[in-house]
Amino acid sequence: MTGKVALIFDLDGTLIDSAPDLRAALNRLLAKRGLPVLDAPTVRGMIGNGAKVLVERAFAAFGKQAEAADVEEFLTDYAANATVETEVYPGIEAALAELAAKGHDLAICTNKSAAATAIIMQQLGLARYFKGVTGGDSTLYRKPDPRHLASAISALGALSAVMIGDHENDMEAARGLDVPSIFVTWGYGQAKGTYTAHSASDLPGIIAGL
């Protein structure tokens, strides 16, 4: 690939470990509904398709159907407690700083809402590295639909891009646009990308070689 490549990042499981706060908010909701709480590995396996699906999967685990009010209550709780235990993965900030310094435009494409993403990125000190956020409510489409990723790339006015994520949704969206992908192994999912990063420090080298 020639020129500066736009870098489109997933959020949860890629830039940040948000599972502890997602689990805490989810378990508070379940407890209010008289349902058992879920352990960390179970919740991690449910992450990746947005809040609505997360809540639906949690209720379905107990043979229940989540209602719109359940999702709203979860969202309100989570928004108020989104960075209590959430942490940026080791090496991410250094990698972002290096990539931005090399002239790459960086953006986020996530199934999390755009508003929640913006708040989290600001509170964790990562917002300054990114020129755009395309959330799960920013378009009519959501990953793995490639049109969600296409919107994020278009917003940057980029001619070439790479998708970086920890979930099959990210890799599938990239394949749908025929753009390269980097699967990061420190997140929540299992998938195969064009390239694989085992630590954040791998990212600049992989991208330099595109």
- Residues noted as catalytic: 10
CA distance to 64, 108, 122, per residue, from 105 (Å): 43, 10, 18
CA distance to 27, 88, 110, 180, per residue, from 163 (Å): 31, 19, 11, 6
Determine the Cα–Cα distance for residues 170 and 109; give it in Å rounded to an integer: 9
Determine the Cα–Cα distance for residues 4 and 47; give it in Å rounded to an integer: 31
SS3 state of residue 109 = strand
Determine the Cα–Cα distance for residues 169 and 142; give it in Å rounded to an integer: 9
The C-alpha angle 81, 90, 172, rounded to 5 degrees, equals 80
Q: Are 200 and 92 in contact (CB under 8 A)?
A: yes
* DSSP-H helix ranges across 81-167: 92-101, 114-123, 146-156
Determine the Cα–Cα distance for residues 120 and 60; give it in Å rounded to an integer: 28
142, two tokens = 């959501």
